[in-house]
Amino acid sequence: MDNNKVTLTFRHPTSSDEEMTASVSREATPKFLIDQLVRSGFIPPIGATGRYMLRNGATGVQLLENAPLTAAGLGEGGVVMVDATMSGAGSNGTRT
């Protein structure tokens, strides 16, 4: 086993039944991982009014965008929740 990598399971933001398991560098950042999840087709590009965030599935703690996985306490077999947030004009023209 490569000590520089950890196997994680990523949970889809809209369907908890959809998961992707991947072996990733312990130094990978959430920003990098989100880009890879989009490139792989697991999650769609979110556009200018939205953003993805990653959360430790065991603790519920949001991962800092540019901090390595080692700082998030994610270990072998960890679960990562992919959360999506949207902002923009509401139906009455106000910003949300």
pLDDT tens per residue, range 33-91 = 999 999 999 999 988 889 999 999 999 999 999 999 888 888 899 999 999 998 865 55
Selecting from 3.10.20.90, 3.40.80.10, 3.90.950.10, 3.40.190.10, what CATH number does the domain 5-86 have?
A: 3.10.20.90
| Side-chain-facing half-sphere of 28: CA atoms under 13 Å | 21
Residue 88: per-residue pLDDT: 64
Backbone angles phi, psi at 38, to 5 degrees: -70, -45
Residue 16: per-residue pLDDT: 81
Residue 76: per-residue pLDDT: 93
Indicate the helix (H) or strand (E) that contains 38.
helix 30-39
Residue 94: per-residue pLDDT: 46
| pLDDT beyond 50 at 95 | no
User: 10 and 74 in contact (C-beta within 8 Å)?
Assistant: no
2-31 mean pLDDT: 93
| Beta-bridge mates of residue 53 | 83
Sign of CA dihedral 70, 50, 79, 63: positive
